[in-house]
Copies of this chain bind each other. A is one copy, B any other.
Protein backbone atom coordinates (compact mmCIF):
# COMPACT_ATOMS: atom_id res chain seq x y z
CA UNK A 1 0.00 0.00 0.00
CA UNK A 2 1.37 3.36 -1.04
CA UNK A 3 2.73 5.56 1.72
CA UNK A 4 3.13 9.29 1.98
CA UNK A 5 6.72 8.91 0.76
CA UNK A 6 5.55 7.34 -2.48
CA UNK A 7 3.16 10.19 -3.01
CA UNK A 8 5.90 12.73 -2.32
CA UNK A 9 8.20 11.04 -4.82
CA UNK A 10 5.49 10.84 -7.45
CA UNK A 11 4.57 14.50 -6.99
CA UNK A 12 8.15 15.69 -6.71
CA UNK A 13 7.67 17.38 -3.37
CA UNK A 14 8.56 16.62 0.24
CA UNK A 15 6.41 14.52 2.53
CA UNK A 16 5.77 17.64 4.57
CA UNK A 17 4.07 19.23 1.61
CA UNK A 18 2.02 16.13 0.95
CA UNK A 19 0.94 16.11 4.56
CA UNK A 20 -0.03 19.75 4.30
CA UNK A 21 -2.30 19.31 1.34
CA UNK A 22 -3.82 16.21 2.93
CA UNK A 23 -4.61 18.29 5.99
CA UNK A 24 -5.85 21.34 4.10
CA UNK A 25 -3.12 23.46 5.50
CA UNK A 26 -3.44 26.96 3.99
CA UNK A 27 0.16 27.58 3.02
CA UNK A 28 0.54 25.32 0.01
CA UNK A 29 0.92 26.61 -3.53
CA UNK A 30 -1.83 25.79 -5.94
CA UNK A 31 0.71 24.06 -8.12
CA UNK A 32 1.99 21.80 -5.35
CA UNK A 33 -1.54 21.00 -4.36
CA UNK A 34 -2.61 19.82 -7.79
CA UNK A 35 0.55 17.76 -8.24
CA UNK A 36 0.01 16.05 -4.90
CA UNK A 37 -3.65 15.40 -5.54
CA UNK A 38 -2.77 13.89 -8.89
CA UNK A 39 -0.17 11.64 -7.29
CA UNK A 40 -2.69 10.54 -4.67
CA UNK A 41 -5.09 9.65 -7.44
CA UNK A 42 -2.53 7.77 -9.50
CA UNK A 43 -1.26 5.69 -6.61
CA UNK A 44 -4.63 5.14 -4.99
CA UNK A 45 -3.09 6.43 -1.81
CA UNK A 46 -5.05 6.15 1.44
CA UNK A 47 -3.75 7.90 4.51
CA UNK A 48 -2.73 5.50 7.27
CA UNK A 49 -4.97 6.34 10.21
CA UNK A 50 -2.82 4.26 12.54
CA UNK A 51 0.30 6.34 11.92
CA UNK A 52 -1.70 9.52 12.08
CA UNK A 53 -3.20 8.53 15.42
CA UNK A 54 0.18 7.72 16.86
CA UNK A 55 1.50 11.10 15.87
CA UNK A 56 -1.49 13.24 16.83
CA UNK A 57 -2.46 11.24 19.86
CA UNK A 58 -6.08 11.09 18.83
CA UNK A 59 -7.97 8.31 17.16
CA UNK A 60 -11.24 10.07 16.45
CA UNK A 61 -12.86 6.97 17.79
CA UNK A 62 -15.37 6.51 20.56
CA UNK A 63 -15.82 3.27 22.48
CA UNK A 64 -19.30 2.12 23.39
CA UNK A 65 -19.66 -0.67 25.90
CA UNK A 66 -23.21 -1.89 26.20
CA UNK A 67 -24.71 -4.66 28.21
CA UNK A 68 -26.41 -6.60 25.43
CA UNK A 69 -26.56 -5.86 21.71
CA UNK A 70 -29.29 -8.41 21.12
CA UNK A 71 -31.61 -6.32 23.26
CA UNK A 72 -33.47 -4.13 20.76
CA UNK A 73 -33.28 -1.21 23.14
CA UNK A 74 -29.51 -1.31 23.12
CA UNK A 75 -29.36 -2.00 19.42
CA UNK A 76 -31.24 1.20 18.81
CA UNK A 77 -29.08 3.03 21.31
CA UNK A 78 -25.97 1.83 19.52
CA UNK A 79 -27.36 2.89 16.20
CA UNK A 80 -28.14 6.41 17.30
CA UNK A 81 -24.76 6.69 18.98
CA UNK A 82 -22.99 5.75 15.79
CA UNK A 83 -25.11 8.15 13.78
CA UNK A 84 -24.45 11.14 15.97
CA UNK A 85 -20.78 10.25 16.30
CA UNK A 86 -20.47 10.10 12.54
CA UNK A 87 -21.92 13.54 12.06
CA UNK A 88 -19.41 14.83 14.59
CA UNK A 89 -16.51 13.18 12.81
CA UNK A 90 -16.00 10.16 15.04
CA UNK A 91 -16.19 6.42 14.50
CA UNK A 92 -17.42 4.11 17.18
CA UNK A 93 -16.27 0.70 18.29
CA UNK A 94 -18.96 -1.27 20.06
CA UNK A 95 -18.17 -3.74 22.82
CA UNK A 96 -20.95 -6.11 23.77
CA UNK A 97 -20.76 -7.19 27.39
CA UNK A 98 -23.64 -9.64 27.20
CA UNK A 99 -24.42 -8.68 30.80
CA UNK A 100 -21.14 -10.28 31.88
CA UNK A 101 -18.76 -8.19 33.98
CA UNK A 102 -15.75 -10.14 32.73
CA UNK A 103 -16.66 -9.45 29.13
CA UNK A 104 -17.29 -5.84 29.97
CA UNK A 105 -13.79 -5.58 31.39
CA UNK A 106 -12.39 -7.27 28.33
CA UNK A 107 -13.90 -4.61 26.13
CA UNK A 108 -12.91 -1.70 28.31
CA UNK A 109 -9.35 -2.97 28.34
CA UNK A 110 -9.35 -3.47 24.60
CA UNK A 111 -10.79 -0.03 23.96
CA UNK A 112 -8.33 1.64 26.30
CA UNK A 113 -5.42 -0.13 24.63
CA UNK A 114 -6.65 1.17 21.30
CA UNK A 115 -6.51 4.66 22.71
CA UNK A 116 -10.07 5.62 21.88
CA UNK A 117 -10.72 9.29 22.48
CA UNK A 118 -13.63 8.64 24.79
CA UNK A 119 -15.73 5.93 26.34
CA UNK A 120 -19.48 5.60 26.53
CA UNK A 121 -20.64 2.92 28.89
CA UNK A 122 -23.79 1.38 30.19
CA UNK A 123 -22.31 -0.58 33.06
CA UNK A 124 -23.30 -4.19 33.66
CA UNK A 125 -22.35 -4.04 37.31
CA UNK A 126 -21.29 -1.75 40.10
CA UNK A 127 -17.93 -1.08 38.54
CA UNK A 128 -14.82 -3.21 38.35
CA UNK A 129 -11.47 -1.79 39.47
CA UNK A 130 -10.57 -1.34 35.81
CA UNK A 131 -13.72 0.63 35.08
CA UNK A 132 -13.21 2.78 38.14
CA UNK A 133 -9.60 3.43 37.14
CA UNK A 134 -10.68 4.42 33.67
CA UNK A 135 -13.27 6.78 35.07
CA UNK A 136 -10.84 8.46 37.44
CA UNK A 137 -7.89 8.26 35.09
CA UNK A 138 -7.79 10.59 32.16
CA UNK A 139 -10.11 8.85 29.70
CA UNK A 140 -13.12 11.02 28.92
CA UNK A 141 -16.17 9.03 29.86
CA UNK A 142 -19.94 9.29 29.92
CA UNK A 143 -22.50 6.83 31.27
CA UNK A 144 -25.62 6.09 29.24
CA UNK A 145 -28.77 4.45 30.58
CA UNK A 146 -27.08 2.86 33.58
CA UNK A 147 -24.40 4.45 35.72
CA UNK A 148 -22.14 3.89 38.68
CA UNK A 149 -22.93 5.98 41.73
CA UNK A 150 -20.11 7.85 43.36
CA UNK A 151 -18.09 8.24 40.21
CA UNK A 152 -17.55 11.70 38.77
CA UNK A 153 -18.87 10.96 35.31
CA UNK A 154 -21.77 12.63 33.48
CA UNK A 155 -24.86 10.47 33.07
CA UNK A 156 -27.36 10.47 30.22
CA UNK A 157 -30.46 8.52 31.05
CA UNK A 158 -34.22 8.32 31.12
CA UNK A 159 -36.24 8.82 34.24
CA UNK A 160 -39.06 6.30 34.47
CA UNK A 161 -40.52 7.43 37.76
CA UNK A 162 -43.56 9.17 36.36
CA UNK A 163 -44.17 6.55 33.71
CA UNK A 164 -44.12 3.80 36.32
CA UNK A 165 -46.58 5.82 38.36
CA UNK A 166 -48.82 6.09 35.30
CA UNK A 167 -48.50 2.36 34.77
CA UNK A 168 -49.53 1.52 38.30
CA UNK A 169 -52.46 3.92 38.04
CA UNK A 170 -53.49 2.16 34.85
CA UNK A 171 -53.21 -1.27 36.47
CA UNK A 172 -55.03 -0.21 39.60
CA UNK A 173 -57.80 1.29 37.49
CA UNK A 174 -58.20 -2.06 35.79
CA UNK A 175 -58.82 -3.62 39.18
CA UNK A 176 -55.50 -5.37 39.63
CA UNK A 177 -54.25 -5.59 43.20
CA UNK A 178 -51.59 -8.31 43.24
CA UNK A 179 -48.74 -6.90 41.20
CA UNK A 180 -45.39 -8.60 40.72
CA UNK A 181 -42.14 -7.40 39.19
CA UNK A 182 -39.26 -9.06 37.41
CA UNK A 183 -36.27 -7.06 38.54
CA UNK A 184 -32.96 -6.53 36.81
CA UNK A 185 -29.64 -7.13 38.55
CA UNK A 186 -29.38 -5.21 41.80
CA UNK A 187 -25.87 -4.20 40.76
CA UNK A 188 -27.30 -2.00 38.01
CA UNK A 189 -28.92 1.34 38.63
CA UNK A 190 -31.81 0.59 36.30
CA UNK A 191 -32.24 -2.73 38.07
CA UNK A 192 -32.73 -0.97 41.41
CA UNK A 193 -34.55 2.14 40.28
CA UNK A 194 -37.34 0.39 38.49
CA UNK A 195 -38.17 -1.74 41.50
CA UNK A 196 -38.00 1.30 43.77
CA UNK A 197 -40.26 3.29 41.47
CA UNK A 198 -42.74 0.44 41.29
CA UNK A 199 -42.77 -0.01 45.03
CA UNK A 200 -43.29 3.69 45.62
CA UNK A 201 -46.13 3.85 43.12
CA UNK A 202 -47.83 0.82 44.68
CA UNK A 203 -47.45 2.39 48.08
CA UNK A 204 -49.38 5.44 46.90
CA UNK A 205 -52.31 3.09 46.31
CA UNK A 206 -51.92 1.41 49.66
CA UNK A 207 -50.50 -1.68 48.00
CA UNK A 208 -47.40 -3.51 49.11
CA UNK A 209 -44.74 -5.34 47.13
CA UNK A 210 -44.18 -8.60 49.01
CA UNK A 211 -40.88 -10.38 48.50
CA UNK A 212 -42.49 -13.31 46.73
CA UNK A 213 -43.67 -10.86 44.10
CA UNK A 214 -40.16 -9.67 43.37
CA UNK A 215 -38.38 -12.01 41.01
CA UNK A 216 -34.68 -11.63 40.45
CA UNK A 217 -33.89 -11.45 36.75
CA UNK A 218 -30.80 -10.50 34.77
CA UNK A 219 -32.36 -8.53 31.92
CA UNK A 220 -32.25 -11.57 29.62
CA UNK A 221 -35.14 -13.64 28.28
CA UNK A 222 -34.27 -16.83 30.15
CA UNK A 223 -34.56 -15.19 33.53
CA UNK A 224 -37.93 -13.70 32.61
CA UNK A 225 -39.12 -17.18 31.85
CA UNK A 226 -37.83 -18.70 35.08
CA UNK A 227 -39.12 -15.94 37.28
CA UNK A 228 -42.55 -16.04 35.68
CA UNK A 229 -42.77 -19.78 36.17
CA UNK A 230 -42.04 -19.17 39.83
CA UNK A 231 -44.83 -16.61 40.02
CA UNK A 232 -47.28 -18.99 38.39
CA UNK A 233 -46.37 -21.72 40.86
CA UNK A 234 -47.23 -19.52 43.82
CA UNK A 235 -50.29 -20.48 45.91
CA UNK A 236 -51.56 -17.03 45.10
CA UNK A 237 -50.05 -15.97 41.78
CA UNK A 238 -49.94 -12.28 40.91
CA UNK A 239 -52.53 -10.73 38.60
CA UNK A 240 -49.91 -8.68 36.83
CA UNK A 241 -46.29 -9.21 35.92
CA UNK A 242 -44.18 -6.12 35.21
CA UNK A 243 -41.00 -7.07 33.39
CA UNK A 244 -38.36 -4.40 33.78
CA UNK A 245 -36.98 -4.86 30.29
CA UNK A 246 -38.22 -6.12 26.95
CA UNK A 247 -36.24 -9.34 26.85
CA UNK A 248 -37.56 -10.52 30.21
CA UNK A 249 -41.05 -9.66 28.95
CA UNK A 250 -40.42 -11.96 26.01
CA UNK A 251 -39.39 -14.69 28.45
CA UNK A 252 -42.48 -14.07 30.56
CA UNK A 253 -44.63 -14.40 27.47
CA UNK A 254 -42.92 -17.71 26.70
CA UNK A 255 -43.60 -19.03 30.19
CA UNK A 256 -47.22 -17.95 30.19
CA UNK A 257 -47.80 -19.44 26.78
CA UNK A 258 -46.11 -22.71 27.76
CA UNK A 259 -48.67 -23.06 30.59
CA UNK A 260 -51.50 -22.56 28.14
CA UNK A 261 -52.54 -19.36 29.88
CA UNK A 262 -53.69 -16.18 28.15
CA UNK A 263 -52.65 -12.55 28.46
CA UNK A 264 -54.42 -10.54 29.82
CA UNK A 265 -57.28 -12.92 30.64
CA UNK A 266 -55.30 -15.12 33.01
CA UNK A 267 -52.50 -12.74 33.83
CA UNK A 268 -51.56 -9.24 32.75
CA UNK A 269 -48.14 -8.24 31.46
CA UNK A 270 -46.34 -4.93 31.10
CA UNK A 271 -42.78 -4.12 30.18
CA UNK A 272 -40.12 -1.48 30.50
CA UNK A 273 -38.68 -0.50 27.09
CA UNK A 274 -40.92 -0.25 24.09
CA UNK A 275 -39.99 -1.83 20.79
CA UNK A 276 -41.70 -2.12 17.40
CA UNK A 277 -42.57 -5.78 17.95
CA UNK A 278 -44.71 -5.02 21.00
CA UNK A 279 -47.36 -3.66 18.65
CA UNK A 280 -47.69 -7.05 17.02
CA UNK A 281 -47.42 -9.50 19.88
CA UNK A 282 -50.47 -11.37 21.02
CA UNK A 283 -51.74 -9.26 22.67
CA UNK A 284 -49.96 -5.96 21.99
CA UNK A 285 -47.92 -5.12 25.05
CA UNK A 286 -48.28 -2.14 27.32
CA UNK A 287 -44.85 -0.70 27.80
CA UNK A 288 -42.81 2.21 29.08
CA UNK A 289 -41.02 3.87 26.19
CA UNK A 290 -37.66 5.54 26.54
CA UNK A 291 -36.53 8.28 24.17
CA UNK A 292 -33.79 5.93 23.00
CA UNK A 293 -32.54 7.78 19.97
CA UNK A 294 -32.29 11.02 21.86
CA UNK A 295 -30.43 9.29 24.70
CA UNK A 296 -27.87 8.02 22.23
CA UNK A 297 -27.41 11.38 20.60
CA UNK A 298 -27.23 13.29 23.87
CA UNK A 299 -24.64 10.92 25.28
CA UNK A 300 -22.40 11.36 22.26
CA UNK A 301 -22.72 15.11 22.45
CA UNK A 302 -21.78 15.02 26.12
CA UNK A 303 -18.79 12.80 25.46
CA UNK A 304 -17.52 14.88 22.58
CA UNK A 305 -17.93 17.98 24.71
CA UNK A 306 -15.71 16.35 27.27
CA UNK A 307 -13.15 15.27 24.67
CA UNK A 308 -12.97 18.65 23.06
CA UNK A 309 -12.56 20.45 26.32
CA UNK A 310 -16.05 21.78 26.87
CA UNK A 311 -17.74 20.78 30.08
CA UNK A 312 -20.53 18.29 29.54
CA UNK A 313 -23.80 18.12 31.39
CA UNK A 314 -25.72 15.16 32.69
CA UNK A 315 -29.04 14.79 30.91
CA UNK A 316 -32.24 13.19 32.15
CA UNK A 317 -35.10 12.61 29.74
CA UNK A 318 -38.58 11.43 30.71
CA UNK A 319 -39.91 8.01 29.72
CA UNK A 320 -43.60 7.62 28.98
CA UNK A 321 -46.28 4.97 29.26
CA UNK A 322 -47.74 3.45 26.11
CA UNK A 323 -50.97 1.64 26.89
CA UNK A 324 -51.91 -1.35 24.76
CA UNK A 325 -53.97 -4.39 25.59
CA UNK A 326 -51.79 -6.69 27.67
CA UNK A 327 -53.13 -5.53 31.02
CA UNK A 328 -56.82 -5.77 30.20
CA UNK A 329 -59.31 -3.67 28.30
CA UNK A 330 -59.93 -0.18 29.52
CA UNK A 331 -63.36 1.43 29.54
CA UNK A 332 -61.95 4.24 27.44
CA UNK A 333 -62.17 3.84 23.71
CA UNK A 334 -59.18 1.90 22.48
CA UNK A 335 -56.36 4.22 21.58
CA UNK A 336 -56.62 5.46 18.03
CA UNK A 337 -54.93 3.08 15.64
CA UNK A 338 -51.28 3.19 16.45
CA UNK A 339 -49.16 4.89 13.80
CA UNK A 340 -46.68 2.67 12.03
CA UNK A 341 -44.07 2.15 14.70
CA UNK A 342 -40.93 0.92 12.99
CA UNK A 343 -38.45 3.55 11.88
CA UNK A 344 -40.66 6.38 12.99
CA UNK A 345 -38.53 9.41 13.75
CA UNK A 346 -37.95 9.77 17.44
CA UNK A 347 -40.22 12.15 19.18
CA UNK A 348 -38.17 14.66 21.10
CA UNK A 349 -39.66 15.15 24.50
CA UNK A 350 -38.90 18.19 26.59
CA UNK A 351 -35.46 17.89 28.04
CA UNK A 352 -34.77 18.30 31.68
CA UNK A 353 -31.18 18.99 32.42
CA UNK A 354 -29.35 18.74 35.66
CA UNK A 355 -25.73 19.45 36.41
CA UNK A 356 -23.70 16.29 36.77
Residues of A with Cβ closer than 8 Å to B? 1, 44, 46-51, 53-54, 59, 69-70, 72, 75-76, 78-79, 82, 86, 91, 93-94, 96, 106, 109-110, 112-115, 133, 137-138, 220-222, 225, 247, 250-251, 253-254, 257-258, 276-277, 279-284, 337, 340-343
Contacts and interface: CB of A to CB of B under 8 A. Distances in A.
Contact of A280 (B86, B220, B250): B250
A260 B29 CA distance: 68
Contacts of A48: 54, 113, 115
Nearest to A78: B69
A284 B254 CA distance: 12
A221 B277 CA distance: 12
Nearest to A103: B86
Contacts of A78: 69
Contact of A69 (B75, B137, B337): B75
A220 B343 CA distance: 9
A137 to B, nearest CB: 8
Contact of A282 (B47, B86, B281, B337): B281
Given A250-B280, A253-B280, A281-B277, A112 B50 contact: no
A222 B342 CA distance: 8
A19 to B, nearest CB: 15
A250 B276 contact: yes
Contact of A1 (B138, B276, B282): B138
Contacts of A86: 106
Nearest to A220: B343
Nearest to A282: B282
A277 to B, nearest CB: 4
A259 to B, nearest CB: 10
Nearest to A279: B254
B79 A96 contact: yes
